[in-house]
Amino acid sequence: MSSSNTVSEDTPRRLRAERRAVETLYRAFSNKSPNLLPPTGMTSRRRPDRAGPDGLKSIIREVVEAMPDVRITVHDMMQVPGALVAR
């Protein structure tokens, strides 16, 4: 197991924070509000050319502009420290 997903006494707090971050990301799409994202800490791994929160905000703006009726519903999440998958 890598150090990024090692279980420690801080794990429950970390899991809650990571889950809230993902929920906020999807809410930003659905509410058409990229400014819901915090000023730091979020980035897109799939788009390294758009690193940082400002890059992620621009992706949200483009998606919302291309698909104004976009609505994201999270049905399930699976998570370990440092990694979360939403369906």
What tokens does 4 get? Answer: 């990024």
Q: Are 77 and 22 in contact (CB under 8 A)?
A: yes
What integer pLDDT is reported at residue 5 of this predicted model? Answer: 66
pLDDT above 70: percentage of residues in the chain: 90
What integer pLDDT is reported at residue 51 of this predicted model? Answer: 74
Q: Are 62 and 68 in contact (CB under 8 A)?
A: no
What integer pLDDT is reported at residue 1 of this predicted model? Answer: 47
Dmax over CA atoms of the chain, in Å, equals 43
Instruction: Give this prediction's pTM.
Output: 0.75
DSSP line for 37-74? S-SSS---SS-GGG-HHHHHHHHHHHHHHH-TT-----
Query: What is the residue extent of each domain of the chain?
Result: 9-86
Tens-digit pLDDT profile for residues 6-37: 778 888 998 998 899 889 989 999 999 999 98
- Where does the pLDDT of residue 4 fall: very low under 50, low under 70, confident under 90, or very high at 90 and above? low
